[in-house]
Structure 1
Amino acid sequence: MTDQTILDVAIVGYGPVGQSLSILLGERGYNVAVFDRWPSLYPLPRAVFHDHEIRRVFHAMDIGADVERISQPSSKYQWFNADWKTLVEIDWSAESISDGPVGYLFNQPSLEALLDRKAKSLPNVSVQQGWEATGLRQLPDCCELTLRRGVMNGASWDPTGETQTVRARYVVGADGANSFVRKSQNIEFDDLGFQEDWLVIDLKPNDGVKLDVPDIGQWCNPARPTTMVPGGPGLRRWEFMRLPHESIEDLQKPEKVWELLSPWVTPESATLVRHAVYKFRSLIARNWHSGRVVLAGDAAHQMPPFMGQGMCSGIRDAWNLAWRFDLILKGVSSDRVLDDYTPERRPQVRAVIDASIAMGQVVCISDKEEAARRDEAYLAGNVPPLPPFPGLTDGLICKDPAFASESVAGLLSVHGQVTNLGEASRYDDAVPNGFHIIALDAHPNRHLDAQGKAALAAIGGRSTGITTDADKAVKDRVLLDVSGKYKQFFDEHGVKAIVVRPDYYIFGGVQTLEELPALLSDLVSRLSIDENAAVVLP
């Protein structure tokens, strides 16, 4: 069966990345179909952490309040040596740039259920589970995707003989580590060298049971490197590194599982949810974009879990793609806007993988003498702190020294609580998503000439003032900065205004408002947009 309708985007893979992208595009009104080999959602836990930036994305999907109900704020992330002396402490409960703690813990099946309900509620999103992609070819004006249907017979996926072929202007491969889409385009992985087997155990303590464990901890014990984290509200996770003399089969035996857990929990005090051995890898695709085909999530990158950034990085991919497809599908920009996808996402993800590997190399030491040297260095304070989370270093950011952009271009923009003449809200809720100019103590439009206003209209952008002075607040134009976070950010970076992309990353900034028209013109030229073809705002 061949469907002659040409979809806007077909997504292969219906994990959190494929779900998120289908929602982000569906909410913008595009015709999207998403396909997954498995007839139902995977029922067992995997990812357990998302950070403040991803929380903003969930709010943009209008599921922020629902996600809050199934997650809990993170606490301090502590690394201990074999004697439980603290080597490293990272405060994930601290206030982030996004208005709230750095991170949150959750249960992935609960999150996927939320995303699933949201995606299936959108009339222009077709979710087709039980369909495996078997063929993909690029045509001049679209892609042709061939799929076959299957059903589960016990643990076996059996094809039914039913097939279909769909056409879409673009195809996104969010189909995991063994991505069919990636392989169909002959895109290779670079192996960055980290590979370790870990036993991952999820369990639910019985009612009233209190466990004597760190909330989030790495026990850097050379006898058995161990991770302990919440698995979302009411759940706990342990991860144990496989030692050289152990087989994967022996490590997965129930008696071995309970033996490893015995210092903290017993079968009488908790219920085992699942256990499995995972191979932690460090892989990154050389290119994430080939013509009308794009990769996202594990199809493009895999990393050790020590920073909790695997799922987060995939959702950043979806968030980055959503506004690019929006410009293309509106007819505002050519598909050349996709050319910046790999230059932006690959270096940021590579930096996250490198940091995760570095953390893993500290944790995964099984030699006692080497562990002793590590402990001595950390306890003596001779190890530099972890670098800040990477921003964007290439792609659609303005590094022109003619502006004040170098200090802010590529950074995640500040976010906080604001009031609009007494009505309190998050900034992201007060101003619809899109390109924004945010200026300190002024409304930017007063400083835009005709060219600047045309540039802003061409990208469907909005301009907003932000101030800590209630006397300068103007309804719908200049918002009151409740916490002072915006003023602090602007003052620290020496800017009077910033241009923010729809994914909340800063394109550039200016020291004087008179420079705004030139900065906007630079953005429009980089997006290949005609300044005379203004977008009508909703």
Structure 2
Amino acid sequence: MKKDYQQTDFDIIQIGYGPVSKVSALLLERMGWKVGIFERWGEVFPLPRAVCIDHEVFRMLHAAGLGPIVDKVTSVAPQYKWFNADWQELLSIDWPKGSISGGSEVNFVHQPTLEKELDAEVKRRNNITVFFEHEFLKMSQTSENVSATVKDMVSGKTKSYTAKYLLGIDGANSTVREQLGITRTDLGFDADWLVVDYVLNDGLTANDLELVPCGQYCNPERPTTIVPGGYAEGKEYRRWEFMRLPHETKEEMVELEKVNNLLEEWIKPEQGQLIRHSLYSFRSLVTDKWRQGRVLLAGDAAHLIPPFMGQGMCSGMRDVWNLSWKLDRVLRKEATDVLLDSYEAERKPHITEVVKLSMFLGSIICIPDKAEAAKRDAEFLSENPPKMRPFPKLTDGIIAKDSDDQPLGLAGQLSPHGVVRHQRRTGRLDLFTNNDNFKLIVSNSSVISALSNEAINKISLLNIDVIKIAERSNATDEEYADTQGQILSFMKSNNVETLLVRPDHYIFGASSQPDELDDLLSQLEYQLEELT
């Protein structure tokens, strides 16, 4: 449908210019929308914060055409191991073993390098305008648009800009959230940690220093995180995080002498360079309301997560991935703005469970008492140690549901992904498909041929792309040969022959019989019609 700008300055205004905002703008611009970004600082923040990109975000960035950037700035994560004071292994998370998205569960990244590359890509896009040194002051909205008033911090002048929607992606201390008067729920985690980033000298590696490649040292005398900080310009970065103990003040934790004392067990000053050190209060906060009219919140403005799963930046990018395809449909008038209500319905329960998982991991390491740590050690070293819950799936929103309004079968899970061969070319499945459409992944063509004419018409009406997956040994050029067996093995193990997949790679529903697929299509049509 033809776009209807109705004389606004932008289609979307974004407040803040961190990594989540950059990705959001690139996603929306790729869909054809005009984005204006307002950032109070004069440049991209040059210091590292996040160090992880999980498999879902890695896949998302590739699907959005940002694969060359991601491949350039990431490296596969080693196993994530947790040790007690005596270096006995309490817990191990096998990140390199692979994921449902294809490839490693987690990749490490040097955030300043990632942001530099994303910023360069933003500047190459004609429909994104970034206003540095522009402070967001206030906003107002009508039934047709939203207006943001900003102050040019160089000239001192104020000006208002209009858009169809405004995204508050302006961090934990979000001005947008505060102006809306939106409250947050505290899930109860609160601990101060000193975060230290170091770059190793040329040629020096973590192995040379005999460092744990990636882990948590759960020593009650000093709970410590030791992880990669990514690579940049041929140099290896490392991160340490030290928990502030009850007898220590916040002020003394950031003194350089204190920092050096904490590091001396791990690295000598002549082996590298201290990049930054800062004290953070690790919190567990979820915003109570994610949308107010034409204003929506994302990233740290919507949630704060303890860092023990590396999900801070990832969860923000998951927010804008969920939101972008919905905004696209609303802006094209293919859906009403009721569709945007599914953003909170889907993301809020999901991120709440992610926060709880991170809190569980935090509860393992954040024990400064020796007696309590001994109890923890005994529990984890027993024959029945505590187990992590699986990573959450979608439980509400645009997914197939049973008669009790619960997710039906595989609905809400991430869909499988991998390398395929199609028309004599080999590459990631997402590179061959339209990632703005729903997809019907089929492992048995007879399911399609057995569909009723009504169901076939629904596939056409809903603009669903049909993807026929076949074994690599007998796939035709028109089919997608599953060269890694990743997709077919998932379908076989779950006893399904079709996967109906949303634009953000979550499964709407799955089926093993033509009549089940017919029901799924009817349910999708009904849910989308409710929003148009």
TM-score class, shorter-chain normalisation, is: over 0.9
Matches within 5 A, 1:300-449: 300-400=302-402, 406-433=408-435, 434-442=437-445, 446-449=449-452
CA distance in 2, matches of 1:380, 1:83: 16
Q: Distance in 2 between matches of 1:443 and 1:131?
A: 58
Identity among equivalent positions (%) equals 42
Q: Paired residue for 2:294?
A: 292
CA distance in structure 1 between the aligned counterparts of 2:168 and 2:115, rounded to whole angstroms: 18
* Counterpart in the other structure of 1:165: 160
Q: Which residue does the alignment assign to 1:487?
A: 488
1:83 equivalenced with 2:86 (yes/no)? yes
Q: How many Å apart are 1:116 and its aligned residue?
A: 1.1
- In structure 2, the partner of 1:180 is 175
Q: CA 1:417 to 1:200, structure 2 compared with 1: closer, same or farther past 3 Å?
A: same
Tell me the distance in 2 between the aligned counterparts of 1:15 and 1:296: 11
Aligned twin of 2:273? 271
**Distance (whole Å) between structure 1 residues aligned to residue 301 and residue 422 of structure 2:** 42
Amino acid at match of 1:89: S
Pick one of 222, 225, 235 that aligns with 1:224: 222
Q: State the partner residue of 2:212.
A: 214
Query: CA–CA distance in 2 between the matches of 1:475 and 1:328?
Result: 36
Deviation at 1:443, TM superposition (A): 7.4
| Most deviating of 222-231 and 396-405 | 396-405
Cα 1:203/1:60, change in 2 over 3 Å = same
Give the whole-Å Cα distance in 1 for the aligned partners of 2:446 and 2:325: 25
Counterpart residue number, 2:511: 510
State the 1:448 CA deviation: 4.5
What CA distance in whole angstroms lies between the structure 1 residues aligned with 2:216 and 2:64?
A: 33
Q: Hey, what's the Cα distance between the residues in 2 that align with 1:204 and 1:9? A: 38
Whole-Å separation in 1 of the counterparts to 2:457 and 2:324 = 23
Work out whether residues 320 and 503 of structure 1, in 8 Å CA contact, stay in contact via their aligned partners in 2: yes
Are 2:466 and 1:463 equivalent residues in the alignment? yes
CA deviation string 1:221-240 (max 9, x = no partner): 00010000000021000000
2 CA distance for matches of 1:136 and 1:403?
Answer: 37
Give distance in 2, aligned partners of 1:325 and 1:250. Answer: 47
Residues 451 and 326 of structure 1, relative CA distance in 2, 3 Å threshold: farther
Higher alpha-carbon deviation: 75-84 or 458-467: 458-467
* Equivalent position SS for 1:408: coil
**Match of residue 157 from structure 1:** none
Q: Is the 8 A contact 1:443 1:465 kept in 2?
A: no
Contact 1:444 1:465 (8 Å CA) reproduced:
no
How far apart, CA to CA, are the structure 1 residues paired with 2:322 and 2:483?
Answer: 29
Report if the CA contact (8 A) 1:414-1:489 is conserved. yes
TM-score by length of 2: 0.94
Query: Shift in Å at residue 406 of structure 1?
Result: 2.5
1:145 and 1:444 mapped to 2: Cα distance? 51
Structure 2 stretches lacking a partner, 5+ long: 1-5
Deviates more, 1:207-216 or 1:237-246: 207-216
Q: Any idea what SS the aligned residue of 1:362 has? A: helix
Partner of 1:66: 69
Amino acid in structure 1 at the alignment position of 2:317: I
The 2-side partners of 1:100 and 1:324 are apart by: 27
Q: Name the structure 1 match of 2:3.
A: none
Amino acid at match of 1:199: L
Question: In structure 2, do the counterparts of structure 1 residues 44 and 530 end up closer, same or farther at CA, with 3 Å as the change threshold?
Answer: closer
Q: Distance in 2 between matches of 1:425 and 1:103?
A: 20
Count of residues in correspondence between the two structures: 519
Q: 1:51 aligns with which of 49, 54, 64?
A: 54
Provide the residue aligned with 2:200 in structure 1.
205
TM-score between both structures, scaled by the size of structure 1: 0.93
* Whole-angstrom distance in 2 between the partners of 1:455 and 1:334: 20
Deviations 1:337-395, CA, capped at 9 Å, x for gaps: 11111110011100000111111111000000000111111111332321111110111
8 Å Cα contact 2:79/2:214 also seen in 1: yes
Is the CA contact (8 Å cut-off) linking 1:187 and 1:285 kept in structure 2? yes
RMSD, aligned CA = 2.0
Contact 1:225 1:363 in 2 (8 A): yes
Q: Match of 2:492, SS?
A: helix
Contact map agreement 1:403 1:515 (CA 8 A) in 2: no
Letter in 2 for 1:138: Q
Amino acid aligned to 2:153: G
Query: What letter is aligned with 2:307?
Result: P
Deviation at 1:285, TM superposition (A): 0.5
Kindly provide the CA deviation profile for residues 5-51 of structure 1, in whole angstroms up to 9, marking residues without a partner as x: 34211111111111111000000111111111111100000000110
1:97-246 equivalences under 5 Å are 97-151=100-154, 160-209=155-204, 210-233=208-231, 234-246=236-248
Counterparts in 2 of 1:360 and 1:117: CA distance versus 1, 3 Å: same
Per-residue deviation, 1:148: 0.7
CA contact (8 A) 2:339 2:531 kept: no
